[in-house]
Structure 1
């Protein structure tokens, strides 16, 4: 009989405990907002992106709609899809960059494009919400990275460009999952492609300013699971030792094969 991979609770717990700070915060906000909609049902309508209701007084919707979900299953599926992608992004670019982008341009840009398409071209007013727009944004970014190393993948006799994978998923999900926003997912993927190509990297605050903020506030020392913007100098968990030492002076593990550190 075929053997199926079993879920290891210890590995899952270890993975959750090692999630970086901004990823934790965004996931917590999603769960908290879903919980808040149980007694306060009006919150869902307040946070959703409704094209006809976006004006100067309700621009906040461009940042709140990815954090709000239609229901428990909608939230859970989006969190499961988003968590590994968001964790990888934060580990690469740092906590401050992730926080700045996902509370700003990565919501306003795809949301703004969606409103323009809905009102300007489709003449519609379809409400959207959910973190899937971020899922496709990050998938598109990862697909372009993978495309550089592996330009194509094969399905039978066909060779398909790797960068098209998120677009294929958008089409498939639109057919098999009811009430999903095809246009919204395309908007998210489009911003992901622009990010990976470097066209919107100017949206990230200057690295000198980010380093100054980290040093001034001692974020590495004060915030657990914080990821520095300078991975080469600080690493993921703070300043790494740089003094060369001989192999004989390196402390040995008390047991054969035991790993030291996280």
Structure 2
């Protein structure tokens, strides 16, 4: 009896220790990354209880201009997953990439916006890709009738942003060296050949969106430095600014201390000091948040790795010594046949 009790106690202690480690890991995640992680998990839980249906939230390219009441699927499809394996696979990839990009390049506010923007743009790009391949010479009209779900289109966009133009190499399977700039394309081919029922077009669309961002073509859709500063310093934003895991723009240097996993208290003097540094960085010494029309324009681009808070654009090369190498396990977009809505294909 005592041996049985000792074993049960050991199991409980192991479970408690594992739970504490998981809780600490989740608390250590940047705020926007954590939010989208819980969003995907929460939506999947609702799916399990039939409160959210895949066919009601997936994106069907052929219905884009015929069912306007389904336009919401342009975004919702990114946060829905077909099963636990699909969710797990995508979250493993997302957490690694999102943590690196949010904490070292974008900050929480811009990253939160970019995930929503990329969700929309990947769906639009997917429509364009499937439309093109449905006509000669490819003649694949069935691609327009495949209902697509999953976050991996966005994940491929993030992967492309992290690896774009990077001269570093990464190790594949411990023995094969590959330039990081080619890694998204390797992942695209790997998932298409190794895994079944993944959306090649959805993954390709994500790479295209990431490339457009890096070339600055999406600049018109990206909030300006001045606008982001004004939002973060607004009184109504104060409670979010002090939330555990919130990261102000990393390019402001000492404001990375706002990524805090031990306390949620940020003093008024700290925020005032940060405001002065941010204002000087964006508008110059003695600058004004309500400055010139050029500086306060809401949508002036950040584009090709332009540094938020910098007075002149510059290309950021990710510091691969401190950022995690892109995960070898590649993300997936689930693809369902529109002709059999009640029996989705297995990922």
Q: Output the TM-score relative to the length of structure 2.
A: 0.60
Within a 5 Å distance, the mapping from 1:140-155 to structure 2 comes to: 140-144=160-164, 147-148=166-167, 150=168
- 1:204 aligned onto 2:222: yes
- 1:194 aligned onto 2:194: no
Partner SS state of residue 198, structure 1: coil
1:131 pairs with one of 131, 148, 151: 151
Q: Structure 2: any 5+ residue segments left out of the alignment?
A: 1-16, 135-140, 259-265, 275-347
Whether the 8 Å contact between 1:220 and 1:228 is mirrored in structure 2 is: no
> CA–CA distance in 1 between the matches of 2:98 and 2:172?
27
2:109 pairs with one of 96, 118, 121: 96
Q: Structure 1: any 5+ residue segments left out of the alignment?
A: 1-7, 243-262
Which residue of structure 1 lines up, in the alignment, with residue 195 of structure 2?
A: 177
Whether the 8 Å contact between 2:250 and 2:256 is mirrored in structure 1 is: yes
> How far did 1:166 drift?
0.9
> CA–CA distance in 2 between the matches of 1:207 and 1:89?
17
Query: Structure 1 residues 65 and 194, CA, compared in 2 at 3 Å: closer, same or farther?
Result: same
> How far did 1:201 drift?
3.5
Q: Deviations over 1:96-124 (max 9, x none)?
A: 11111111x20121111111222343223
Query: Structure 1 residues 207 and 37, CA, compared in 2 at 3 Å: closer, same or farther?
Result: same
Q: Deviations over 1:110-146 (max 9, x none)?
A: 111111222343223111111111221111111125x
> How far did 1:222 drift?
3.8
> CA–CA distance in 2 between the matches of 1:99 and 1:221?
13
Within a 5 Å distance, the mapping from 1:15-164 to structure 2 comes to: 15-40=25-50, 43-55=53-65, 56-91=68-103, 92-103=105-116, 105-122=117-134, 123-124=141-142, 125-144=145-164, 147-148=166-167, 150=168, 161-164=179-182
Partner SS state of residue 66, structure 1: helix
Whether the 8 Å contact between 2:43 and 2:52 is mirrored in structure 1 is: no
Number of aligned residue pairs = 232
